[in-house]
Structure 1
């Protein structure tokens, strides 16, 4: 028998294999988007009204139209090279930031900063005839002043961008007959993107890295260098946690409750992009038993509790659970509990509405979906990822 070697063999590592790296990046401490609007009443001058009346006296030029044109804002992406350099619109901070303590979703308070921002744009308004020929025009300036609560610690920079400007004329854009109105309403909408950033060093995956020791040179230092400290984060404010799963669709069926007999219709769009922001839920109940003294109603959710969101396996499908609060079409504020099951065999949902004392005032019971469809999709979160590190 030959001698079998037990020598260990080292498997060579290919070029460009994964390894620990420290990178310099712009870290986002807070990110807010919003839509702000302002309405102004614009008056024509006597000279402009004379031009409009003259054009309206010509049947071949009627009707006239009022059109407005706003500056073209740079796209949201890419970020580099999209800075606006003209002076036709801008966003700027007014005054200094102030420290505040604010209530956060889910309960509790967090330290934040209050910032006042001014958004300004020039709008070109034209009156044109039916052929598009200019009758008269005027320049309008519109501004919005808004306060924002942000995670804006010392050491970070505020970047305020206007990503789109829209103008509307709610009072109507068509001029049919004389005399022409001497004024009109103009509404300007600002789509804004606000980010708080700081340049930091991160060790992939997503943790701060520390600078290397100055071990290549060993000079005799007299003064101590201060430690490198990054600005504190605001985890209670941003980023918000992801959803475990999403729920979308519209479905209806008969209620399974002796006290609340009727037909329930559920319209939901919760965590559509795996984020609770922008979620919606509406429950419509049609009462088919008029003898019990109850009435049909519509309940609309106004808030969702992230901590109550739960997604778990249920047979061959998924079960979606969440709680929150909302209002009925009669103005009554109630809390709600929602449960939905989506499986290959069937679908059902159940909604409880509770008053402020926690008493159930409405219960659909288990509603088997007879019309429509509800879809539960699993969201991949950071906790779902498994990273295999090198030994």
Structure 2
């Protein structure tokens, strides 16, 4: 018998060039966000009215989310772009190149932020399922995605499912009904990067990956700046605290600056560390020829510590202070200037009407001819 040769079937495949959308990256993820909704005053009144009716209790809180289209067909452009009247997702801002870690290895990717938004409705219904109140709100969440997203490709996003649950009690047995309702809303996201290319391929079904690239943030290890106040000028301000004091008893003739003609005498004991124990007594003796008695005595009742000012000028140690006191039976304000110099002390005193602010008496600059004043500037 002769042998028969079994010939191989001829390969009927031939090279073809096709144009297809190539998938550069495909990521699925579940994004959750919390939201707090507030009922209006009128709605709360309707709810409390229903709770007061035993036939309508208990009330239930029900959440309704938009229904998403089926996963297939993939070619539905409206679904691929995530456009829908009750929900959508879209890229926000520009992409940026980043470094990341995937399966323990460094990778280079593009980081984008994607916004997810949906209309969610909360119903309060009674025992029979009849509506008592309704709240409708937009819920949004934004999530970063690290993708293979080179220039020349397009990002396609769609929401494959939206779910929500009430974080508080969903069954209300009696009042008062809470004025706020807390929700947790979840978006199931399908994010794809595509570009139209020409290919000759052998293929099999592929699966998406998780949003699992750990982005390396170059600023993560950059510490926040320490609080550093501007450098102080310690030798200029604030001045170091010095205890200043003035003591003595002295007198002299009022000067031509004063409208009075007489002698002025003071006795002072001023301590900046203890203004409450400081004292000042002033006596005026009129020497005029008009035979009017203008003699009076003034005593300080209170010194203003913030008014104390000391300095040196033209060889004099000078202390200024103000406060309130009484001249005979009238309460007045005062301003006192003391000056200690080599062999010549001086002082001046002004008495001021507290209501009008006008000077009612002034000695002018008195040159001491009896006694002395000692000033310690610390």
Please give the TM-score of this superposition, normalised by the length of structure 1. 0.48
CA distance in 2, matches of 1:154, 1:276: 21
What's the secondary structure of 1:83's corresponding residue? helix
Deviation at 1:181, TM superposition (A): 1.2
Indicate the larger mover: 118-127 or 82-91. Answer: 82-91
Number of aligned residues: 207
Judged with a 3 Å threshold, the aligned counterparts in structure 2 of structure 1 residues 56 and 25 are, in CA distance, closer, same or farther, namely same
CA distance in 1, matches of 2:47, 2:97: 53
Aligned to 1:128: 125
The Cα RMSD (Å) is: 3.1
Aligned to 1:354: none
Deviation at 1:9, TM superposition (A): 11
The answer (yes or no) to whether the contact 2:60–2:172 under 8 Å persists in 1 is: yes
Aligned to 1:179: 176
What are the Cα deviations for residues 115-170 of structure 1, in whole angstroms up to 9, with x where unaligned?
A: 01111111011111111111110111110011111000001110011100001002
Aligned to 2:349: none
Q: 2:189 aligns with which of 192, 197, 207?
A: 192
Gap runs ≥5 in structure 2: 212-378
- Once superposed, which parts of structure 1, at least 4 consecutive aligned residues long, lie more than 6 Å away? 8-12, 275-278
Judged with a 3 Å threshold, the aligned counterparts in structure 2 of structure 1 residues 277 and 63 are, in CA distance, closer, same or farther, namely same
Larger radius of gyration: 2
Judged with a 3 Å threshold, the aligned counterparts in structure 2 of structure 1 residues 122 and 276 are, in CA distance, closer, same or farther, namely closer
Deviation at 1:66, TM superposition (A): 0.8
Gap runs ≥5 in structure 1: 207-238, 241-274, 279-391
Judged with a 3 Å threshold, the aligned counterparts in structure 2 of structure 1 residues 97 and 276 are, in CA distance, closer, same or farther, namely closer
Aligned to 2:228: none
Deviation at 1:104, TM superposition (A): 2.2
The answer (yes or no) to whether the contact 2:51–2:59 under 8 Å persists in 1 is: yes
Aligned to 1:34: 29
Aligned to 1:18: 13
Matched, 1:71 2:66: yes
Please give the TM-score of this superposition, normalised by the length of structure 2. 0.50
CA distance in 2, matches of 1:86, 1:191: 15
Judged with a 3 Å threshold, the aligned counterparts in structure 2 of structure 1 residues 88 and 12 are, in CA distance, closer, same or farther, namely closer
What's the secondary structure of 2:67's corresponding residue? coil
